[in-house]
Amino acid sequence: MKHSLQRLPSLSRLAAACALALALAGCGYNDYQRLDEETQSAWSEVVNQYQRRSDLVQNMVNTVKGEANFEQETLTKVIEARAKATSIQVTPETLQDATKLQQFQAAQGELSSALSRLMVTVERYPDLKANQAFADLRVTLEGTENRITVARNRYIQAVQQYNVLRRSFPTNLTGMVFGYAPKQNFTVANEAAISTAPTVDFSKPGQ
C-alpha cells in the first residue's frame, strides 16, 4: 500500500504530461512544427536554385568575355545584376521581413531581365552561338530556370498552408502563444518578373 501511494505523484505527472501532449496536438502545435519545417526546407531549395543560376551566370559571363567586340553594356548589366543578387544576405529572418523578401525578389528579377537581354544580343554573334561551351551553359540555364519555378511554387504552397493554419481558429491562438507569426510570401507585383525565365530559344537552326 505504501509503495502504491508513492507511485501516485509519478502517475499524476505522467497523466498531466499526456493531457498536455493531447492538448497541444489538438490545438495545432504539431502542425506548426511540421509546416514551419516544410516552409524552411522549401525556402532553402529556392535559394539553392538561385545560387545555382548565379554560378552558371558567372560561367556564361566568362565565356562571353572571350568573344571579340561583344556589346559591353549588355554584359556589364548582367555582371551588375548578378553582383546585386548575390549581395543580399538570405537568412531565416528574411522570411519574416516583407521588405527584405521584396528586395531579394527584385534583385532576382533584375538578373532575369539582364539574362534575357544577353540571350537576345548573343543572336548577333554567330561564333558565340556556335561555341559548344556556351551552348551547354544555355541548356543548363534553361533547366535551372525550370527548377527555380518548381522550387518557388513549392515554397508558395508551403507558406499558404502555414498561413492558413496561423489565421484559423483555434490554431491562431496557439500561434500567438508560441510566437508563430504569419510568413511572408512572394508578392504579386514581383512574381511576374522573377517567374519570367531568360529567353532560350533552341528552335532556330544553328543555335
pLDDT tens, position by position, 100-151: 888 999 999 999 999 999 999 999 999 988 899 999 999 999 999 999 999 9
Closest CA to 36 of 98, 91, 95, 99: 95
Dmax (CA) for the chain in angstroms is: 97
Q: 192: which residues sit within 8 A by CB, 6+ positions away?
A: none
pLDDT digits (tens, 9 = 90+) for 54-86: 999 999 999 998 887 888 999 999 999 999 999
SS3 content of the chain, % helix, strand, coil (to 5): 80, 0, 20
Percentage of the chain beyond pLDDT 70 is 77
Cα dihedral value 52, 154, 145, 78, nearest 10? -60
Specify the pTM: 0.76
Instruction: Copy the grid coordinates of residue 80.
Output: 551588375
Q: Identify the band that residue 87 occupies on the pLDDT scale cut at 50, 70 and 90.
A: very high
**Mean pLDDT, rounded, of the chain:** 81
Q: 31: which residues sit within 8 A by CB, 6+ positions away?
A: 165, 171
pLDDT at position 139, please?
94
